[in-house]
């Protein structure tokens, strides 16, 4: 897990690249490397050493012929298997997955992407052809931002790196308007900045002689058509469990200590159970956060689960008084709007793990999307937010009509023949997963910690997605198949517990302990450079209504706080 950066132009400045790398140094404090192809390109890298800790694995990494230079962020989990395939065509000098990735590209070209099981964002410069090839993993776990124009191509792992050496900081009004009006965080190629784009997950790009071309390399729809869905239930359960175990085993490949995050839900319970089937449980630290509010805390369920395995449990408490300082820091880290106070609480886990010397944490992201775990999968609503029912969490009335005109209601592809799979597809590639992965990448890397998502192994996602609806939802029971797997390992009480969204008392804190903080941010919103986006009298009315008890949702309040931080 690292940071990558580069400038492709006739005169890429060394000082600019160093500035970009410094801005994202938290992503890789173990080594900073640069490469220059004079008159053409500069590549940079911030290294967080996870596999092969030796200096020989530092980046940018080049092959023995010095033709190709690689800057790579992520992990190739099946690198040992690929290395065996490649040992007859490439002479390896390190034990790193970085060298395996470069060897795979040299041998298979772009087709190497289909062989990779991992999370990755990388760029390879060909010093002979003077071309850049870059790619992002299937679901976009690792980020790739870029600007292309005026004979320049900038790329980096974080937006702030590009902003630090350019003037491309104009807001993308359409994305911002959609955020306030529909809760959208932009389409897969967009950011909240007009001139900065992101390479979507499952896409690659080439840049040569000022020309940029982008292509999709991961065809999820075609993969689903080729995935069998005629298993008997017990066969599907056994096959999926086998893949789950393999996915977790692969993600324990590291030359540094590994831990995992846990909440009180089914997904975390399954992760906990499988981790302890694949490793010596006494060596694996578990982390969870709590707030001290029994209405929201999942600590009792976490403790019950841990009682089956006796993993060392690190309980990280997050309280309202920490919000102001942490929000200022995390807002700068995120560069774009993020979910709310739960993200701040979650970030404290990585801070604690870093202090404990843990460099890698596993998480349970991805099960709800592949096994239909959200409440709106059961009804006819097309919401993208869990638990809001028929009530809207947005306040469109506070937008200046001239600004609101920039909004365009997001429309998502529907490539499948049934509503459930189309919703799952939307959440995987456009809403839930891209949003969560971006939040989580930033908060983990803020504390130089690698986050791995074993449930987002593409083999698992493809298989689960393709299965019949009654394997996912049986009656009112969602994620049915994995609940049945979990019931074999733990108790039925744990395996069939209702879904509890990862929460904090955000709604109560904003109207009580943080009331002054909210008011201050609403005042700041009036004086920011983009104050004319809002009708501040309407905001004041909504804030008073919230304090008077109209607080079934706090998302709109958080949106305004977040905007005040980011647009100051």
Q: Which residues are annotated as a binding site for L-glutamine?
A: 97
Determine contact, residues 268/305, Cβ cutoff 8 Å: yes
- Residues in a beta bridge with 76: 118
Check 2, 62, 112, 528 and give the catalytic one. Answer: 2
CA atoms within 13 A on the CB side of 183: 21
CA distance to 404, 519, 560, per residue, from 339 (Å): 21, 19, 12
| Distance separating alpha carbons of residues 283 and 280, to the nearest angstrom | 6
Determine contact, residues 489/250, Cβ cutoff 8 Å: no
| Distance separating alpha carbons of residues 179 and 35, to the nearest angstrom | 39
Q: Summarize the annotated binding site as residue ranges.
A: 97
Is-catalytic flag, 2?
yes
Q: Annotate 2-39 with DSSP letters as a single string.
A: EEEEEEESSS--HHHHHHHHHHTGGG-BSEEEEEEETT
Q: Annotate 218-254 with DSSP letters as a single string.
A: --HHHHHHTS-----HHHHHHHHHHHHHHHHHHTT--
| Distance separating alpha carbons of residues 298 and 222, to the nearest angstrom | 39
| Distance separating alpha carbons of residues 299 and 290, to the nearest angstrom | 7
Q: Tokens 């909440």 — which residue?
A: 263
Residue 186 — left, alpha, or beta (φ > 0 → left; ψ -120 to 50 → alpha)? left
Cis amide leading into 60 (omega within 30)? yes
Q: Report the SS3 class of residue 245.
A: helix
Residue 164 corresponds to which tokens in the numbers above? 């630090």
CA distance to 75, 190, 411, 559, per residue, from 142 (Å): 10, 15, 24, 25
Q: Tokens 């394997």 — which residue?
A: 471
What is the separation of C-alpha 240 from the centre of its chain, rounded to a whole number of angstroms? 23
Residues annotated catalytic, as ranges: 2
């Amino acid at each position: 897990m690292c940071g990558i950066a580069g400038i492709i132009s006739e005169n890429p400045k060394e000082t600019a690249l160093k500035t970009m790398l410094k801005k994202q140094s938290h992503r890789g404090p173990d080594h900073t490397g640069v490469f220059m192809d004079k008159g053409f390109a500069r590549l940079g890298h911030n290294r967080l050493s996870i596999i092969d800790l030796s200096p020989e694995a530092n980046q940018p990494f080049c092959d023995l012929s010095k033709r190709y230079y690689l800057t790579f962020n992520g992990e190739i989990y099946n690198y040992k298997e690929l290395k065996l395939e490649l040992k007859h065509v490439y002479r390896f000098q390190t034990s790193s997955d970085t060298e395996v990735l470069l060897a795979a590209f040299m041998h298979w070209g772009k087709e190497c992407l289909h062989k990779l099981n991992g999370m990755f964002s990388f760029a390879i410069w060909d010093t002979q052809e003077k071309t850049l090839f870059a790619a992002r993993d299937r679901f976009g776990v690792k980020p790739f931002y870029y600007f292309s124009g005026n004979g320049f191509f900038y790329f980096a792992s974080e937006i702030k790196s590009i902003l630090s050496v350019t003037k491309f900081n104009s807001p993308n009004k359409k994305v911002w308007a959609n955020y306030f009006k529909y809760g959208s965080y932009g389409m897969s190629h967009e950011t909240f900045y007009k001139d900065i784009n992101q390479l979507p997950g499952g896409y690659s790009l080439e840049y040569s002689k000022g020309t940029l071309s982008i292509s999709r390399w991961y065809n999820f729809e075609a993969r689903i058509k080729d995935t069998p869905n005629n298993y008997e239930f017990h066969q599907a359960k056994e096959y999926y469990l086998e893949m789950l175990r393999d996915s977790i085993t692969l993600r324990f490949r590291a030359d540094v200590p590994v831990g995992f995050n846990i909440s009180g839900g089914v997904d975390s319970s399954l992760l906990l159970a499988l981790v302890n089937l694949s490793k010596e449980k006494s060596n694996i630290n578990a982390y969870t956060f709590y707030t001290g509010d029994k209405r929201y805390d999942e600590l009792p369920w976490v403790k019950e689960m841990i009682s089956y395995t006796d993993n060392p449990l690190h309980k990280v408490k997050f309280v309202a008084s920490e919000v102001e300082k942490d929000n200022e820091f995390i807002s700068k880290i995120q560069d774009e709007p993020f979910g709310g106070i739960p993200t701040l609480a979650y970030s404290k886990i990585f801070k604690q793990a870093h202090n404990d010397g843990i460099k890698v944490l596993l998480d349970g992201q991805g099960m709800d999307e592949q096994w239909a775990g959200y409440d709106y999968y059961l009804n006819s609503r097309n919401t993208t937010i869990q638990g809001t029912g028929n009530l809207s969490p947005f306040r469109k009335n506070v937008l200046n009509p001239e600004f609101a005109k920039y909004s365009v209601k997001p429309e998502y592809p529907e490539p499948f023949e049934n509503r459930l799979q189309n919703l799952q597809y939307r959440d995987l590639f456009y809403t839930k997963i891209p949003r969560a992965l971006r939040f989580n990448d930033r908060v983990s890397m803020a504390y130089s910690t690698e986050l791995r998502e074993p449930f987002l192994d593409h083999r698992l996602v493809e298989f689960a997605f393709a299965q019949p609806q009654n394997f996912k939802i049986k009656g009112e029971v969602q994620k049915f198949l994995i609940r049945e797997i979990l019931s074999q390992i733990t108790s039925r009480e744990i395996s069939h517990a209702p879904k509890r969204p990862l929460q904090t008392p955000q709604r109560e804190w904003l109207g009580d302990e943080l009331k002054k903080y909210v008011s201050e941010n609403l005042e700041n919103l009036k004086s920011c450079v983009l104050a004319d986006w809002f009708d501040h009298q309407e905001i004041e009315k909504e804030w008073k209504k919230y304090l008077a008890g109209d607080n079934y949702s706090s998302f709109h309040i958080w949106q305004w706080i977040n905007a005040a931080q980011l647009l100051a």
